[in-house]
Amino acid sequence: PNMKIVMASSADTPFAERVGRAALKLLEVVPGVTVWDVCMRDWDGVDVNQIGRQPPLSSNKSLTHFPILREKTGIRYDRMLFFDDCNWGDHCGMVAANCKEEDTGLGPATVRTPRGLGDSEWRKGLQIFAEKNCK
């Protein structure tokens, strides 16, 4: 309850972006409900997801994906939870450093998931988010 889902992904090429979006529309969370359905349910059918690296997006999610997500969704950085599976860079560190609210100085709760997002990583993210927002 009260959780909204959106994607920020750095698909390298336009083809990779199309493949990623197609996969999200095929993978089912429960029978008959795809990942894409879940991502779209809270946004009145408007695609607010930021997928790719084509302009205005870049490989640095903290400079492009997240500011656009904040603008399109109205969700403050300090109310976001970000999981990243990148093995060659620290997107979590960049997002935490560059995406902060002016009034609180806080940014998204972040969790690196170099081996993918599983149950334990999900729970860790929820714990970090709760601890960060209870201070």
pLDDT by residue (tens digit) across 47-73? 999 999 999 999 999 999 999 999 999
Paired tokens of 107: 């940014």
Paired tokens of 47: 């695609």
In a 3-state reduction of DSSP, which class is residue 67? helix
The model's confidence at residue 133, banded by pLDDT at 50, 70 and 90, is: confident
Which amino acid appears at position 54 of this protein?
A: Q
Which amino acid appears at position 120 of this protein?
A: S
How far is residue 50's CA from residue 6's CA, in Å, rounded to a whole number? 8
The model's confidence at residue 3, banded by pLDDT at 50, 70 and 90, is: confident
**What are the residues whose beta carbons fall under 8 Å from the beta carbon of 3, sequence distance 6 or more?**
none
